[in-house]
Structure 1
Amino acid sequence: MSDSLHIVCPHCTAVNRIPSARLGESPRCGKCHGELFTGHPVELDAAGFDKHVGRGDIPVLVDFWAPWCGPCKMMAPHFVQAAGQLEPRVRVAKVDTEAEQALGARFGIRSIPTLALFKGGREVARQAGAMGAADIVRWTQGHL
């Protein structure tokens, strides 16, 4: 890990350079002054997805889900809990596959919910099916 990391703002998608040692100090965006880590998943559209995965230096855990999906709704509060535990080492995000069908197709999402972990701009792990918070955290950390 270098001395500083590029962190994409969850509010305005500006790319911020943050010293590694300051990640745990609630850093704020230099552009919009919003918190860079909120402890909640970031809702991503295609442009936001590409920016977070392609420009950010921390891994991105994405929940591909849909509003009509029962297991997705059951997992949602567990995913929020996991976000609180994984940040700031991991950006936690959600992609609504109904609203962002092209993203779901691009990554061949066949069932939902599907978790995909991206590191260095590439997918490094994938898991289909609902999980509890502890399992999400353990699965994510096991692939980093």
Structure 2
Amino acid sequence: MLVSRQIICPHCGGINRVPAEQPADAVRCGRCRTPLFSAKPIDVDAAALNKHIQQGDLPVLAQLWAPWCSSCVVMASAYEAAAYELEPDMRLVKLNSDAEPEMAARLRVQTIPTMILFSDGVEVARVSGGGVAGGISAWARARLADVQIRSSMRA
């Protein structure tokens, strides 16, 4: 039984232990007192992305994008709508691949926009291009459900 979850603050990077029975969307950071969720994707650098993936307990959906990419611009509103639908069960982040080329290379991103879903610290799914723009929430939920089914079959 899950007693609490670690949720990373998108503002100060603080690690917050949130009781499982407490609605996460109503919680404020213990360090900076800002809400842990805003129903919008958060811009991150490589260090913040790593912290959300490695130290947080929420699945992370990361979009790698660049300001010059027209598909990324078109997809931005759909990604924001997905954050509204998926939070607080999933953290949505945006990483500018131009500003963080080493991280983009480490993640083997060759096309943008690329979305990568992480769960329990590992990549579980990815999609490149703007093809799922209208169905980001459904895509992320389905991929996460696939992972949970596979995990329960191994247990």
Q: TM-score range by the shorter chain?
A: over 0.9
Q: Does 1:77 align with 2:48?
A: no
1:25: Cα distance to partner? 4.6
- 2:52 matched to which residue of 1? 52
Check conservation: 2:25, 2:37, Cα contact below 8 A: no
Question: How many pairs were matched up?
Answer: 143
Write out the 4+ residue segments of structure 1 that deviate beyond 3 Å after TM superposition. none
- Paired amino acid for 1:132: A
2:35 partner SS: coil
1:18-37 maps to which residues of 2 (within 5 A)?
A: 18-37=18-37
Q: Equivalent pairs: percent with the same residue?
A: 42
1:126 partner SS: strand
**How far apart, CA to CA, are the structure 2 residues paired with 1:26 and 1:101?**
35
**Which one has the bigger helix percentage?**
2
- 1:106 matched to which residue of 2? 106
1:129: Cα distance to partner? 1.2
- 2:153 matched to which residue of 1? none
- Give 5+ residue unaligned stretches, structure 2: 145-155
**How far apart, CA to CA, are the structure 2 residues paired with 1:60 and 1:28?**
19
- 2:149 matched to which residue of 1? none
* Structure with the greater alpha carbon radius of gyration: 2
1:24: Cα distance to partner? 4.3
2:26 partner SS: coil
Structure 1 residues 25, 100: closer, same or farther in 2, change over 3 A?
A: closer
1:21 partner SS: coil
**How far apart, CA to CA, are the structure 2 residues paired with 1:91 and 1:75?**
17
Higher RCO by CA contacts (8 Å cutoff, separation 6 or greater): 1
Check conservation: 2:25, 2:36, Cα contact below 8 A: no
Cα deviation code 1:13-39 (max 9, x no counterpart): 000000122134511000000110110
**How far apart, CA to CA, are the structure 1 residues paired with 2:86 and 2:51?**
20
RMSD: 1.0
User: What TM-score, normalized by structure 2, do the two folds share?
Assistant: 0.89
Structure 1 residues 25, 79: closer, same or farther in 2, change over 3 A?
A: closer
Q: Which moved more, 1:69-78 or 1:21-30?
A: 21-30
